[in-house]
Chains A and B, each alone.
Chain A
Amino acid sequence: MKKIWVIIKREYLALVKTRGFLIGTFLVPLLILILAFLPAVFMNVGTEGEKTIAVIDFTRRLYMPLQHYLAEMQAENPDQSVYRIQEILTDSSAMESQKAALNAQVLSGSLDAFLIFPEDIFENNQFELYAKNISNFQFNETLAGRVTRVVSGLRLREIGLDPELVQKMNRSVRPKTYKVDRRGAKEESGEITFGISYIMVFMIYLALIFYGVFVMRGVIEDKNSRMAEILLSSVRPHQLMAGKILGIGATGMTQLGIWGFTLLLVSTYGLIMIRQFVPAVEKMPFPTISIWVIVGFIVFFLMGFFLYSTIYAALGSMGNSESEMQNLQWPAMSFIVVAFMLMFAVIKNPDGPMAVALSLFPFFSPILMFLRISLHAVPFYQVLLCIVLCLVTLAGMVWITGRIYRVGILMYGKRPSLPELMKWIRYS
């Protein structure tokens, strides 16, 4: 045991000190932070400020209500962009010269835009917008929305209806979501719950591939640097393999821990901010991650990691150089990728027989069973069965891969064929 510990320690320190690890560990959270806070920063910097807009109103009855409505909106939400409109009175004969004058004003910047409401705006639902930049969608949409409100208000009034009453009647109805699990229903936001499951499954997926390749690279490095023989003259092959895998696993846990912690901080902070600024979500509950989901994450990440890293170690022991890694890793990687792709089939019906069967297949369990656990309550006997199946498979894989590793780690030259591999497993 003490020797395994020495190997773990070396593996851990060697990896943690590499530039790649440091960059990955601290740059990724930094990126998360930047991605999380940049929009907020931009939202403040990017407000349009005050816009001066000229209006030519051929209907003669839109300008006043629009000005009134804009003022009302301004009073309600002082943060929003301010549109200052001014009416230009003209008739069709002077139209062209007037337009030329306004164009000049827009170009010079004294005017941000000008609008022309044609007489047939009520029939054709169109008005004209002139501006230097006509691809500012936010501005276009806001403006169109405001004009629409005023136009439809006038229409309603014409047939004798109170626009405010109609608006009240038309308010949309939204679902309030409750997540059902064994301890009863709990109010929770569906999108956020799914989002968190997805992120966690994605983390397992990436971690399995990522740290698996780390193990593989470590084994190839032992071969390449010819350390394997020195090591094996002092420790048993299974001690070396176990030390390698556990050391890299510990590195992975460190990295995931740092990432998870940052993510937790950011998302908590983000939610607090959202609640403060968007009154509508104030009543939205905090998404709670059940302790079982966290336990499931750790258990299934570890099982997946051990299952796959033994395979990656055996595959690595067959290679001679880093350049062979691409070819060597596909047998392990294809299982992980397939499991991840099956995720979308499982989401549709997490309790269906196919979902249950797939999630019990040990090589898929780390991703699919965890996905089911995080989405809803999986019967306890299934989780237990799954863990037992995974452990049995793990034991079997350790036996097989340990034998391949033992022979492979000292072999140089050409890669073994499948029959040769079988021989290694049988005789070593």
Chain B
Amino acid sequence: MEILKIEAVNKSFGEVQAVRDLSLKVNQGRIFGFIGPNGAGKTTTIRMVMQILLPDSGRIEIFGKQLEPGLTNRIGYLPEERGLYKKMKVLDQVAFLGEIKGLAHAAAVSEARKWLERVELADWAGKKIEELSKGMQQKIQFVGAVLHQPELLILDEPFSGLDPVNTNLLKDILLGLKSSGATVIFSTHQMDQVEKLCDAICLIDHGRNLLEGGLSEVKARFGKGRVHLRYEGKADFLQNRSLVAECNDYGKFVEIKPAAKVTPQDILKAAAREVTVTHFEIAEPSMNEIFIQVVQSKGGQA
């Protein structure tokens, strides 16, 4: 079942067209990665889904229904611009966020306590927001987005600013929500998160949908046979166009798309002549590679 369906939506701000004829679908129970470079139109699209902005044209449906104010209660939202009332106490703040999503006061307070426990902030319930560290505030914000048990969770850059421990905590919570039937849409620039978490993705740029589909299906479209090398030394062979069609070199690690009719074995042999290979892997193209390739060629389906 489609939880979210966007059809031919346009949105302009004066001269700038932020979203152009955008269509996409998100199925229930999936974790959906909404990716694209800065200024691609992700936030504008999300704001339209949240009914903060109205589209100039096109249709948006949630839970199979035309958008209407009552539906926002069934969605949890973590905006990119994080904000909390600094002078408010933590528990009051979280309960307030639940209440404006339609929870009764008592239910909001008990849910808030439960969630603060879960994100290990129960001891801070009586403190003011301004006394908390940035990372803690971010967790509070996240709790505010989920405590009313939304069927759809929209998270704009949920992992930015979190340390590895908290990233892990958040990931576990997302997977828990998924297994209980919720749908999660999140936008991110961190492609490794997409790789590890997402069932499906949509990549947009300049307000257009450039690439959409299940993660493995998208990867299959870009072909297999990528070579991942970890190495030490000076890798001049990467410049050899008859051997390497494209590569993304990090200095100690490189993703290689071999040229036509070149096998991974040929690459390994060439590499072994110049550098010390410490790791060799034949892999699917990474989301990182796909992202760069699609955005740079502006082409879409390669």
Please report A residues at the B interface, Cβ cutoff 8 Å.
2-3, 6-7, 10, 13-14, 18, 221, 225-236, 410
Contact of B28 with A by CB under 8 A: no
CB-CB < 8 A to A3: which residues of B?
100, 102
Partner of A225, one of B51, B69, B79, B84: B84
Contact A225 B86, CB 8 Å, known A233-B52, A234-B72: yes
Partner of A228, one of B50, B72, B83: B83
Partner of A6, one of B69, B86, B99: B99
CB distance from B157 to the nearest CB of A (A): 13
What are 24 pairs between A and B in contact, CB < 8 Å? A2-B102, A3-B102, A6-B96, A6-B99, A6-B100, A10-B85, A13-B92, A221-B85, A225-B84, A225-B85, A226-B81, A229-B52, A229-B79, A229-B81, A230-B97, A230-B144, A231-B100, A232-B50, A233-B72, A233-B75, A233-B77, A233-B79, A234-B100, A236-B69
Contact A7 B52, CB 8 Å, known A227-B85, A233-B72: no
In contact, B100 and A229 (Cβ under 8 angstroms): no
Contact of B257 with A by CB under 8 A: no
Interface centre among A7, A229, A231 (most CB of B within 10 A): A229
Contact of B87 with A by CB under 8 A: yes
Nearest A-chain residue to B86, judged by Cβ: A225
Complex Cα–Cα for A236 and B71 (A): 12
Complex Cα–Cα for A228 and B86 (A): 13
B24-69: which have CB < 8 Å to A? 47, 50-53, 69
Complex Cα–Cα for A232 and B75 (A): 13
- Count of B interface residues, CB-CB < 8 Å: 28
CB-CB < 8 A to B82: which residues of A?
226
Complex Cα–Cα for A310 and B285 (A): 56
* Interface majority SS (helix, strand, loop, mixed), chain B: loop
Please name 7 further chain A to chain B contacts, defined as beta carbons within 8 Å, in addition to the given A6-B99, A13-B92, A226-B79, sorted by A numbering: A225-B85, A226-B82, A227-B84, A230-B77, A233-B79, A234-B97, A236-B69
CB distance from A18 to the nearest CB of B (A): 8
In contact, A229 and B87 (Cβ under 8 angstroms): no
Contact of B228 with A by CB under 8 A: no
Contact A7 B100, CB 8 Å, known A233-B50, A233-B77: yes
Complex Cα–Cα for A14 and B72 (A): 25
Complex Cα–Cα for A230 and B83 (A): 8
B139-155: which have CB < 8 Å to A? 141, 144
CB-CB < 8 A to B92: which residues of A?
13
Complex Cα–Cα for A234 and B87 (A): 21
Complex Cα–Cα for A221 and B87 (A): 11
CB distance from B49 to the nearest CB of A (A): 9
- Contact flags (1/0) for B84-113 with A, using CB distance below 8 Å? 111110001000110111100000000000
CB distance from A101 to the nearest CB of B (A): 73
In contact, B85 and A14 (Cβ under 8 angstroms): yes
CB-CB < 8 A to B73: which residues of A?
234
CB distance from A421 to the nearest CB of B (A): 14
Nearest A-chain residue to B49, judged by Cβ: A233
Nearest B-chain residue to A2, judged by Cβ: B102
Interface centre among A7, A13, A18, A232 (most CB of B within 10 A): A232
Contact A14 B52, CB 8 Å, known A230-B83, A230-B144, A233-B79: no
In contact, A235 and B52 (Cβ under 8 angstroms): no
In contact, A235 and B100 (Cβ under 8 angstroms): yes
CB-CB < 8 A to B84: which residues of A?
225, 227
In contact, A10 and B96 (Cβ under 8 angstroms): yes
Contact A226 B83, CB 8 Å, known A233-B52, A234-B72: yes
Nearest B-chain residue to A229, judged by Cβ: B79
CB-CB < 8 A to B96: which residues of A?
6, 10
CB distance from B160 to the nearest CB of A (A): 14
CB-CB < 8 A to B144: which residues of A?
230
CB distance from B181 to the nearest CB of A (A): 22
Complex Cα–Cα for A229 and B75 (A): 14
CB-CB < 8 A to B101: which residues of A?
234
Complex Cα–Cα for A279 and B77 (A): 72
CB distance from A413 to the nearest CB of B (A): 12
CB-CB < 8 A to B75: which residues of A?
233
Partner of A229, one of B83, B86, B99, B102: B83
Nearest A-chain residue to B79, judged by Cβ: A229
CB-CB < 8 A to A13: which residues of B?
92
CB-CB < 8 A to B100: which residues of A?
3, 6-7, 231, 234-235
Interface centre among A6, A230, A236 (most CB of B within 10 A): A230
CB-CB < 8 A to A231: which residues of B?
100
Partner of A14, one of B79, B87, B99: B87
Interface centre among A232, A233, A410 (most CB of B within 10 A): A233
Complex Cα–Cα for A233 and B152 (A): 13
Complex Cα–Cα for A7 and B73 (A): 15
In contact, A410 and B83 (Cβ under 8 angstroms): no
Nearest B-chain residue to A237, judged by Cβ: B52
Complex Cα–Cα for A105 and B52 (A): 88
Nearest A-chain residue to B54, judged by Cβ: A428
In contact, B83 and A227 (Cβ under 8 angstroms): yes
Partner of B52, one of A10, A225, A410: A410
CB distance from A287 to the nearest CB of B (A): 43
CB-CB < 8 A to A2: which residues of B?
102
In contact, B102 and A14 (Cβ under 8 angstroms): no
Complex Cα–Cα for A229 and B88 (A): 17
CB distance from B227 to the nearest CB of A (A): 44
CB distance from B41 to the nearest CB of A (A): 16
Complex Cα–Cα for A413 and B97 (A): 27
In contact, A230 and B88 (Cβ under 8 angstroms): no
CB-CB < 8 A to B87: which residues of A?
14, 18
CB-CB < 8 A to B102: which residues of A?
2-3
In contact, A232 and B99 (Cβ under 8 angstroms): no
B201-243: which have CB < 8 Å to A? none
Complex Cα–Cα for A3 and B108 (A): 13
